Structure 1
């Protein structure tokens, strides 16, 4: 018998099975697609609509959206439940609760405890986001193209309430145009703790007003747009406190749990860039995005400004800033900090970076002389606020400009946002001058700014003089006025008058005077180069029409002439001092006087007075006018006042074996200042 099989048999079997395989594959793909669609609907922010009944009353019913509710037990008495939660009673949650953030451990009702815990959190790798690589913002949508804002978006507010109104108004405008994601980007400085709490209170009222505090997501069929919120904290690094959610209550809670950054660094540009990259590119968010920055400093990474602007514009992201009143012409200034302790409140001036208001220096930053009651010229750190002038020390470093820091202001305007300056009592600029917008800084890029200077001689001179004063800051330190007295490093910084044997005093006086005179001669030579430029009659100084540049030029010109006159008077007064002193003299002090010694000083003083008075008359109640008046307040000339410091009596003898005097308290307690 022949058992051989025909070669065509296997092919016939495969042919019959082919439709079955094809059907199985197609049905499997269809089931998989349906499963993914259902899973996406479950995981989406819209959630399920569920009918639930209260155990105590079967007739009482409520519908809610699973993904938008807070945990709530209807059996708990209403008096023990927050009113905000009662607005939307809920019986259950079907979604899996997220893992608790380490920030949830903060007890915000106990500020000292919360501060200590949050300081530790800043050191944890699971708190701050890793730096992400920023590429090109390819997620830009055609309807998100934004135009740069105008000067009408520069606003001054006297408190967080007014500033919050500006921000919430911008949110409403965005929400009218489509679904919106607002990113609350909060400075994590200790100095902002109170303002963050105030902003949370204001935001809570706003969320309730648009029915987005603790209720279900709006029904898209009603053509209503949805507001999503996220919270990010920044300092040296950045951290996403809250992922985007449409429940306003969660955003408010996250605002109160911002950890405190103790590094003192404020990398605001990096934080903005990372936030845009996170939501536009990494998570592919398609809503309209606006970032709201709350900060009291200008930032430490402002060199990234132009890249940050370009990136935000390419992603269609608007940046709104609530920021400080910038110190005038200085990068660093001082901020009033009030610290409660032992039932009292202590006030300190803390160093803080919140300036300047311009892209390049426009202020001739030389000190004012004869500030004997103020700190050392180079002193850093905190100083006691009591009995110290509101405008600062010799450089008037606490004088505010009336405008926001340049980098933050330009970022807001170029991205179609707004800058709201917190012009509170402790940081108010001179006064609320009505014509402030006539003196707006130039908010063009630095490159555009520099190119424009070549066409304006006044502006070129002002910037050159300001730059020179920054480069020669040590050369322009005020000369010594008391010989051989020393300034105390302890508040209120009096001049100490040590006893020196008269014979030794005369020997030391020559050496110290010569050192001071040599430095002043070098400073005078530097200033003379500026005076030569001012004396060039071929330059059309009178053609400048901008009130800001006119004020800056008159102030700069007047101070250049006045400072040069002071140098010449100092050299003349100290030229031959010893012959006029008695044998008992062991201290001399140089005091301001209206009499001039140098023949060249009269012309310089007349020129200075003319320019400074012109500045005051044409620009009253402005920072420039105050700076000019302070120069006029002190005469240029000097007179020598000799003194005889008596030999101090010998100290009383100590008891044998008696305890020495200790300056440390018995409790061993100390006081530290928070870094801003």
Structure 2
């Protein structure tokens, strides 16, 4: 009996070894008695000694603070660095979350992975929207969130940094604050074996993103390494910020590929709203399915606009030239809610622009004709919704140069609607005021070229050197009249089309069967009063322009060779009076009922300039013959007054 039993046991062991090509190894490390490693080793089926080794990542260079366009031309781009993972967002892997309540496989015999539902945070409320005056205060918000997570379990914080050159200084300031935080929790340079038994461990990783993304530092429990990586983020020169793709890839990297089981939070530091916001809802679902919270330190969104502007100093020929460069910093709402038509009489001619850049000299604090530097007091919609829906927070940098008007942003009655775009659009159907505001804003975006202000000086032109001022060239009077007729024909045709487009909005507003008065939201009331006032005022300006320029050449003297249209309180048509009175009533209502918010500013700027026009003729004398010029003079839009060229960076 004993012989048969031993023989059976021997055959059972032999069969097990022969049929299993994977072996389990348990290892204990002398340096840390509490650490156990569980390796599953598979046999190697093939080995090619001639195969090339995996490419090593290019060196990451620490870049200086770039507040001007004087950085070296060979800045390291994320596009040129080796990527640890493919740059495209792997949203298809979301199916893995939908099919399973667990992440990955068991890492130890008979030990199940934590359920992701236990890690998913409830959506945050309005108290998670914070405005601070600098990076130091913003750092307090996110490190407080990290402490809260660490009290519950081991935590991985992913520092996800925008790699734009414009953010270099803020990244370095955040690294300084994070250093103090790591030291305060004794995680700056402390070995894990020195921690008390039962203490939770904080892991940190650093990822940079721009057009692509790259893991700068793999998860580590040594805070000093994270600080060092924060200061070595490469500069991305593409000008693109694909933040949603970067978040998705970070979640995929740590949850799916590396099977990280800690509580994971992502801290985003950026100064723009992002270029891939259409991926917002997929990214939210991906983060929630993986139990990942997102905390954002972001910009103050431009009021009702996608693009704002940022000051840039361009050195050229020993001088500096100030320009506003376009940046994506909004809007603060799901869909635009601002009727985005320009304010007239900002310039006698269309403003000088090149690649979206415009001259900053003598520009008021609020920007140009579109008031693109008026900030909303809230963060960009996509980043804010991402943070709230994943149980994180949005910390708005309300700094000098991008500060909100007053302290009104904490008033919850003016909060944007942070529902999904689908829910947002559905809600419009039950609120005629909101539907009208969004329709008017959409029209202004779709017909932006149509609503450009008409030129007011004929036949002026812009100088070829900075700051591209308006010139008044001499034109033979007879030639002037023929050119004026052609120029006015073009302007009037566009104005008539724009007027017809606005008339469709006026017809809707004058439908008395619509319960316009039923709207109760202060935010939507302000938007409606502003939109209505600007629609009527702009329509009156169109009709006055057409009336003032009709048969204008017949009223000019034979010596006139320039005319300028100036604002005037006198109106030329009777229908304009009705439109002006309606506009004034709505705009004043907006100012009176919503003090301290951005809407009254936008309303007052419309009221500041009279609607009527008067024609001011001028006689430009014939200039003396110009002196001979050397060859190779400055070109129109890329030369400074010294003749040296410059180009604009992408922010």
Distance 1:224 1:573 in 2: 79
Structure 2 equivalent of residue 174 of structure 1 = 149
Structure 1 equivalent of residue 76 of structure 2 = 119
Q: Give how far 1:672 is off.
A: 3.9
**1:555 has 2:555 as partner:** no
Which of residues 496, 504, 521 in structure 2 aligns to 1:529?
504
**1:376 has 2:351 as partner:** yes
Structure 2 equivalent of residue 84 of structure 1 = none
**1:308 has 2:269 as partner:** no
Map of 1:167-206 to 2, 5 A cutoff? 167-206=142-181
Per-residue CA deviation, residues 439-493 of structure 1 (Å, 9 max, x unaligned), is: 1110000110011011111101101111111111111111121111124464433
Long gaps (5+) in structure 1: 1-12, 51-63, 68-98
Structure 2 equivalent of residue 134 of structure 1 = 93
Task: Give the direction of change, closer, same or farther, for the CA distance of 1:599–1:487 in structure 2 (3 Å limit).
Answer: farther
* Matched position secondary structure for 1:352: strand
Map of 1:402-421 to 2, 5 A cutoff? 402-421=377-396
Structure 2 equivalent of residue 231 of structure 1 = 206
**1:263 has 2:238 as partner:** yes
Structure 2 equivalent of residue 59 of structure 1 = none
* Matched position secondary structure for 2:76: helix
Which of residues 586, 596, 599 in structure 2 aligns to 1:621?
596
Distance 2:478 2:319 in 1: 50
Structure 2 equivalent of residue 215 of structure 1 = 190
Q: Give how far 1:263 is off.
A: 1.1
2:62–2:233 CA contact under 8 A, matched in 1: no
Structure 1 equivalent of residue 26 of structure 2 = 37
1:154–1:420 CA contact under 8 A, matched in 2: yes
Question: TM-score, with normalisation over the residues of structure 1?
Answer: 0.83
Task: Give the direction of change, closer, same or farther, for the CA distance of 1:15–1:343 in structure 2 (3 Å limit).
Answer: same
Q: Give how far 1:524 is off.
A: 1.2
Distance 1:596 1:104 in 2: 68
Distance 1:120 1:267 in 2: 14
Q: Give how far 1:254 is off.
A: 0.8
Structure 2 equivalent of residue 476 of structure 1 = 451
Structure 2 equivalent of residue 503 of structure 1 = 478
Structure 2 equivalent of residue 162 of structure 1 = 137
Question: TM-score, with normalisation over the residues of structure 2?
Answer: 0.86
2:348–2:456 CA contact under 8 A, matched in 1: no
Q: Give how far 1:437 is off.
A: 3.1
* Matched position secondary structure for 2:327: strand
Distance 1:512 1:506 in 2: 10
Q: Give how far 1:578 is off.
A: 2.1
Task: Give the direction of change, closer, same or farther, for the CA distance of 1:649–1:212 in structure 2 (3 Å limit).
Answer: same
1:324–1:423 CA contact under 8 A, matched in 2: yes
Structure 1 equivalent of residue 429 of structure 2 = 454
Structure 1 equivalent of residue 397 of structure 2 = 422
* Matched position secondary structure for 1:119: coil
Per-residue CA deviation, residues 520-567 of structure 1 (Å, 9 max, x unaligned), is: 112111111111111111211111111110110000000011001111
Q: Taking CA–CA contacts closer than 8 Å with sequence separation of 6 or more, which of the two structures ends up with the larger relative contact order?
A: 2
1:375–1:393 CA contact under 8 A, matched in 2: no
Task: Give the direction of change, closer, same or farther, for the CA distance of 1:108–1:392 in structure 2 (3 Å limit).
Answer: closer
Task: Give the direction of change, closer, same or farther, for the CA distance of 1:650–1:26 in structure 2 (3 Å limit).
Answer: closer
Q: Give how far 1:107 is off.
A: 4.9
- Farther-moved stretch of structure 1 (504-513 vs 130-139): 130-139
**1:275 has 2:289 as partner:** no
- Root-mean-square deviation (CA), in Å? 3.3
Which of residues 441, 465, 483 in structure 1 aligns to 2:416?
441
Distance 1:380 1:374 in 2: 18
* Matched position secondary structure for 2:408: coil
2:352–2:359 CA contact under 8 A, matched in 1: no
Find the structure with the greater CA-based Rg.
1
Structure 1 equivalent of residue 31 of structure 2 = 48
* Matched position secondary structure for 1:425: coil
Structure 2 equivalent of residue 588 of structure 1 = 563
Task: Give the direction of change, closer, same or farther, for the CA distance of 1:371–1:107 in structure 2 (3 Å limit).
Answer: closer
Aligned length: 608
